[in-house]
Structure 1
Amino acid sequence: MRYSDEIIEEVRSRSDIVDVIGQYVHLQKKGANYFGLCPFHNEKSGSFSVSPHKQMYYCFGCGAGGNVITFLMKYDNLTFQEAIKQLAERAGVKLPDEDNSPAAKAMRDKRQILLDINKEAAKYYYYQLRGKSGQKGMEYFKGRQLTDETMQHFGLGYANISSNDLVKHLKSLGYNDSQIIDAGLASHDERMGTHDKFWNRVMFPIQDASQKVIGFGGRVMGDGKPKYLNSPETLIFDKSRNLFGLNYAKNARAGYMIICEGYMDVIAMHQAGFNMAVASLGTAFTTGQAMILKRYTDEVILSYDSDEAGTKAALRGIGILREAGLKGKVLDLRPHKDPDEFIKNEGKEAFEERIRNAENTFFFEVRVMQSKHDMSDPESKTEFHRALAKKLCEFEEALERENYIEAVAAKYNIAVDDLRRLVAHYASQGGLVRPSEKPKSGIQKKILPEDGARKNQRLLLTWLTDEPAIFPKVKKWIDPNDFTDELYRNVANELFEGMENGNFSPAAILDRFTDEEQHSKVAEMFNTNLVEIETKDQRKKAFRDIIYGVKSAGYERQKRELKPDDPEFLTKTIQGKKNLEKLANADISPDD
């Protein structure tokens, strides 16, 4: 349900952001704010800032920002409602009753029933494994060198060889056939009636990020088919948007995550101490899964089997990671097939070394490409060099392309000038990228006018929230319509109105926006600080320049938006120009 603004504000205001984030991140006080290592990207020096005054966090490294609610949403992969509930419970705030319309209640009840059934099934499988009938399953897990602690940690279980044991058990608890089938744990046909989906299999419970069992994977004992069977899609289980092991890996904070193919790979890696490992759920790695990983890390290491199928999966995964904006690397497991086999044969330290030396995704793709050419044959070798040059054209940024040209030339013993010319040739032919040119001395990237305008606006908004006392001086010259971007105008409206009423709150303003990207942009507006202000004169000049910059950009925007046939075009244009001239000649200061 959607909570009222009053309830949201009460929960947020009674949840001190320093106390809440301090449970997850080690914070140290520096000046007015607290700093620590950002939990959302890998860094060695703390650029993650928490402001008790603004009740906001902001990372100057990766740009993540928000209030106490959005922090929990991002850190623990919670919905807005789940984060509110968690904070309300912590702060002792009683939330209003949920939507009790018949349809809403029926849906909640159905979802809860499915979760309850899966939880009971997990308990049933767990105890079956440890009983007499589960001996075969226990022998399998012991043969895979899993400890009792690991089996307990992952809740591993066993489905008996008979085909309706679980159905009987769940019915004894009061659940009916339809509910058990909807939970993905049974099927129905005329010959067998309602019968177990899983039997004669070791069982892997699949949990969501909140530790709720939402489905199962089962490996058959013996030569039955299919070897692995997974729960079907249900109301609570979407394979493409969940990952096995994420409920533990999300708290690893290693700075990266490792994605592999199977449940046993994840379990073996966690047992060896690599608790950042996850696996897709019997399906190919999806964009949805990549976006889930992006909530916790900005780098993913692909650890697929070293056979042909694993290589194809890695190549596909590289494209998905790029599409999601994630940095990727590829783990070289040769001569072993998978992580489980590698760790058993080489040990933890050797696996750590492979992680440290994980292969750049571009070089992995090139290595696969090279394997299809006979490098002892001049013609085939030339074909490889041509293919390599075409691939280098994929880099749009000249500097990055040049760096890769030099690295590839060195790695494959190609004259760098020859390779550069070949890349330029294919680039100009295909129009993919412009040929690399050496930058001329003194030429820098052009800063667009709107970039400078937005920075002035961010500086002004930050200054206002840091020093509300300057508001009367600001509003004499600036109003929200002077902000050039719609998002900036909305934020300025909220802030100016709050300051007029004496109840402004940057953290509360964030609650008006639901999109994660908007959260980061709004947080940046309140965390853009001036540097090198040491004297009163410098402070006065900075204030005047910012006010004039905001007013000037606002005037230019309004002038562009006015149509020449607008009756007020001339009046507004002249008045705007006069206001600018008046401001240019005014003696303004934040301290007068």
Structure 2
Amino acid sequence: MATRIPEETINKIRTETNIVDVISQYVQLKKRGKNYFGFCPFHDERTPSFSVTDEKQIFHCFSCGRGGNIFTFLMEIESISFVESVKKAADLSGVSVQIDTHIDQPRSELQTKKDQLLAVHESATAFYHQVLMNTVTGEEALKYLKERGFTTELLEEFQIGFSPSDKTATQQIMKQRNYSEQLMRESGIFSDRTDSDELLDRFASRIIFPLRNEKGQTIAFSGRTLPKKALESSDFHEAKYLNSPETVLFSKRNYLFNLDKARVQMRKTSEVVLFEGYMDVISAWNAGVKNGVASMGTALTEEQIRILNKMVDSVVITFDGDRAGLEATKKAVDLLNDSRHFEVSVFPMLGGMDPDDYIQQKGAPAFLEGLSNQRESSFQFQSRYLKANLDLDSETNRLVYLEKVLRMLVEVDSIIERELYLNELSEEFELDPAVLKNQLLIYQQEFMLTNKRNTKPSSDKPTFVIDMPIQQQMTKSDLTERQLLNRLFHHEEAWHYLNKLSPDFNFTNEQHQTIYLLYSAFHDEMQSVGFVPQFLDRLKDSSMGAIVTEITMNEIQSEVTEQEIADILSYLENTSLMDQLKQKNQAMKQATRNLDMDKAKSLLQEIIFLNRELKKTKK
């Protein structure tokens, strides 16, 4: 596969590209010792087991087992081909090379369908935007948006558009561009007409907001109605916002609006501002907030949290200030706190405003200042939420409030924060601070006791925990073979000693033997050890690549010696003979039970021979 691109081109990109810099654009990495660690982007986990090594330019997940070089990572994370991964690595690192991505292998049926649907959405985006910006049909919508503070630059930035009131107009444009009716049906842009087979634009007469994926490609739309004039009012209630239905491209649970534009700033600051809707995100972007995303007006989901977890440590929630917004904030705070991955804060929108209203009424500087300096901690928000739901004029409710607040305070890690909140409670309810502290201590003891009961006992627990997968346990023989492969990958002397001590050596483990044979040929070609990232490019089997990466990640500090290789070979030979001896003994017992004396006699001779060989290895 790599031969489709000149080797010198691949090596140029590899040399001028740092795997840590590239992966950092997808995964939040933190340095621990010589390597970088983060949460694996390929599976869900609660502790970081994804490692990237700057020195060796490879990655490996100790939990799910995935591993490889920079091209392997891009192929898996972006679901692209090898040629495309080479081009992507060059683009991300600013390396100027000419690569024709059309020379690669054909796409799968599903990927081809996705590509076609993306093309439909891009065509529709261009059409809607043209209608808004350059036609009489879009004049009213354009005027409304300009009055709302949308500049021409902002409309271009987010490719906002307008769908004509003629519900057949978009279909006609798509037909001119030779998109099939079936493809249009699957796009989610159209709905069927009740009295015919004609496809109608579901977003007709709406302002169109393209919904883009992480690559910036339009995968769905959201349409907003224009405010109706008094003369146009009717009894018919039309939803203010309408989103595309679920398609092979678009899933609400897995989607965050503006992630493609915000993720650079999110990774840079390790913080995200979470809004309820895209109008708030766009308004905040225009005000200078470049790390804002929205959950599309739905409750925050586990899938969206997993996306954020790979990019940021801090989440600032700024939802609407009405009752529904308060409830949505409560759910989001609880969900984020349960994950225990984030520092959570809330920028409250008081007076029933939403962030867009806030910016329109108070201005961008006031919003930026409030976002920086008027945040509530998770605890402060929870306290305010409790007060909003309890009548504190009632003595019973005051006791309920104090109990719940003190129980929440148990989970506040900072001693200074706890002291500050206790003093505030003391002043607000005119209580002796010592009384509150004693009650807090009781709740702390209850909390610790409950946690102890729910935690399985363990001994010698490391401070850095890695979620290990449920997989077949490797034998000591497998580990020893991997040690030998590690030496062969990195030390020319290991090849000299192996050829000297056992020129016809073979690995017992079939995968190890395959890797050995492939690397032997690669070693002969390169005339040198190392070059593991290049070797990984030659492996078509991803499971093989994961094994090579795992072996390479294993640090063996000491220099290789002839005695080490001799000990490894002796152990492997001894283990092999013992395994054979065990099998022969079992076979002889079975032959004896079957009264097959000729076979039993033959097996006995083999057992005697194996015992002699075993004695030789122990000398």
Instruction: Tell me the residue number matched to 2:225.
Output: 220
Question: What amino acid sits opposite 1:329 in the alignment?
Answer: V
- CA–CA separation in structure 2 for the residues paired with 1:407 and 1:522: 48
- CA–CA separation in structure 2 for the residues paired with 1:365 and 1:389: 11
Q: Which of 259, 269, 286 in structure 1 is aligned with 2:284?
A: 269
- CA–CA separation in structure 2 for the residues paired with 1:580 and 1:311: 75
Q: SS of the residue aligned with 2:413?
A: helix
Q: SS of the residue aligned with 1:329?
A: strand
Q: Which of 226, 229, 250 in structure 1 is aligned with 2:263?
A: 250
- CA–CA separation in structure 2 for the residues paired with 1:159 and 1:184: 15
Instruction: Tell me the residue number matched to 1:260.
Output: 275
Question: What amino acid sits opposite 1:194 in the alignment?
Answer: L
Say if 1:259 and 1:277, in contact at 8 Å, map to a contact too. yes
Q: Which of 236, 245, 250 in structure 2 is aligned with 1:237?
A: 250
Say if 1:129 and 1:158, in contact at 8 Å, map to a contact too. yes
Q: SS of the residue aligned with 1:217?
A: strand
Say if 1:332 and 1:359, in contact at 8 Å, map to a contact too. yes
Q: Which of 196, 204, 207 in structure 1 is aligned with 2:209?
A: 204
- CA–CA separation in structure 2 for the residues paired with 1:123 and 1:165: 14
- 2:491 aligned with 1:467: yes
Deviation string for 1:452-472 (max 9, x for gaps)? x99999998766644353456
- 2:421 aligned with 1:419: no
Say if 1:40 and 1:297, in contact at 8 Å, map to a contact too. no
Q: SS of the residue aligned with 2:284?
A: helix
- CA–CA separation in structure 1 for the residues paired with 2:587 and 2:441: 59
Q: Which of 372, 375, 383 in structure 1 is aligned with 2:400?
A: 383
Instruction: Tell me the residue number matched to 1:588.
Output: none
- CA–CA separation in structure 2 for the residues paired with 1:15 and 1:580: 49
Instruction: Tell me the residue number matched to 2:385.
Output: 368
Q: Quick one: structure 1 residues 384 and 40, their matched pair in 2 at CA, closer, same or farther if it must change by over 3 Å?
A: same
1:114-513 pair list within 5 angstroms: 114-130=117-133, 131-175=135-179, 177-191=181-195, 193-223=198-228, 225-252=238-265, 253-254=267-268, 255-297=270-312, 299-318=314-333, 320-321=335-336, 326-335=341-350, 337-344=353-360, 345-348=362-365, 351=368, 354-355=371-372, 359-361=376-378, 364-365=381-382, 367-369=384-386, 371-373=388-390, 379-388=396-405, 403=413, 407-413=417-423, 415-425=436-446, 427-428=448-449, 465-470=489-494, 496-503=516-523, 506-507=532-533, 508-509=535-536
Instruction: Tell me the residue number matched to 1:98.
Output: 106
- CA–CA separation in structure 1 for the residues paired with 2:448 and 2:369: 39
- CA–CA separation in structure 2 for the residues paired with 1:474 and 1:325: 50
How big is the shift at 1:241?
2.8
Deviation string for 1:78-131 (max 9, x for gaps)? 4456844746995558745527xxxx66x6665444333322221221111122
Q: Quick one: structure 1 residues 420 and 300, their matched pair in 2 at CA, closer, same or farther if it must change by over 3 Å?
A: same
Deviation string for 1:509-562 (max 9, x for gaps)? 5967759xx99997565345578xxxxxx8689x979x99xx89x99xx99xx9
Q: Quick one: structure 1 residues 502 and 210, their matched pair in 2 at CA, closer, same or farther if it must change by over 3 Å?
A: closer
- CA–CA separation in structure 1 for the residues paired with 2:349 and 2:541: 48
How big is the shift at 1:259?
2.9
Question: What amino acid sits opposite 1:411 in the alignment?
Answer: Y
Structure 1, 227-236 or 43-52: larger mean CA deviation: 43-52
Structure 1, 344-353 or 118-127: larger mean CA deviation: 344-353
Instruction: Tell me the residue number matched to 1:398.
Output: none
Instruction: Tell me the residue number matched to 1:484.
Output: none
Question: What amino acid sits opposite 1:199 in the alignment?
Answer: A
How big is the shift at 1:392?
6.8
- Normalising by structure 1, we get a TM-score of 0.67
Q: Alignment identity in percent?
A: 20
1:6-155 pair list within 5 angstroms: 7=1, 16=10, 19=13, 40-41=27-28, 54-56=56-58, 66-73=68-75, 77-79=78-80, 83-84=84-85, 86=87, 91=99, 95=103, 97-98=105-106, 110-130=113-133, 131-155=135-159
Question: What amino acid sits opposite 1:347 in the alignment?
Answer: A
- Normalising by structure 2, we get a TM-score of 0.65
Deviation string for 1:172-198 (max 9, x for gaps)? 444465543332222223347532211
- CA–CA separation in structure 2 for the residues paired with 1:539 and 1:369: 64
Structure 1: which 5+ runs fail to align? 1-6, 28-34, 394-400, 435-442, 482-488, 532-537, 583-592
Question: What amino acid sits opposite 2:354 in the alignment?
Answer: D
Structure 2: which 5+ runs fail to align? 37-51, 91-96, 229-236, 424-432, 466-472, 524-528, 589-606
Say if 1:304 and 1:313, in contact at 8 Å, map to a contact too. yes
Structure 1, 501-510 or 153-162: larger mean CA deviation: 501-510
Q: SS of the residue aligned with 1:526?
A: helix
Q: Quick one: structure 1 residues 376 and 281, their matched pair in 2 at CA, closer, same or farther if it must change by over 3 Å?
A: closer
For the pair shown, the structure with the greater C-alpha radius of gyration is 2
Say if 1:266 and 1:278, in contact at 8 Å, map to a contact too. yes
Q: Quick one: structure 1 residues 78 and 247, their matched pair in 2 at CA, closer, same or farther if it must change by over 3 Å?
A: farther
* Structure holding more helix per residue: 2
Q: SS of the residue aligned with 2:347?
A: coil
Q: SS of the residue aligned with 1:120?
A: helix
Instruction: Tell me the residue number matched to 2:591.
Output: none
Q: SS of the residue aligned with 2:191?
A: strand
Q: Tell me the number of residue pairs that the alignment of Structure 1 and Structure 2 aligns.
A: 529
- CA–CA separation in structure 2 for the residues paired with 1:42 and 1:278: 21
How big is the shift at 1:428?
3.5
CA RMSD of aligned residues (A): 5.7
Question: What amino acid sits opposite 2:58 in the alignment?
Answer: M
Higher relative contact order (CA 8 A, sep 6+): 2
- CA–CA separation in structure 2 for the residues paired with 1:44 and 1:349: 37
Q: Quick one: structure 1 residues 390 and 151, their matched pair in 2 at CA, closer, same or farther if it must change by over 3 Å?
A: same
Q: Quick one: structure 1 residues 26 and 544, their matched pair in 2 at CA, closer, same or farther if it must change by over 3 Å?
A: closer
Say if 2:274 and 2:292, in contact at 8 Å, map to a contact too. yes
Question: What amino acid sits opposite 1:141 in the alignment?
Answer: L
- CA–CA separation in structure 2 for the residues paired with 1:290 and 1:243: 10
Deviation string for 1:423-447 (max 9, x for gaps)? 323553686557xxxxxxxx98599
Say if 1:37 and 1:47, in contact at 8 Å, map to a contact too. no
- CA–CA separation in structure 2 for the residues paired with 1:286 and 1:262: 15
Say if 2:83 and 2:104, in contact at 8 Å, map to a contact too. no
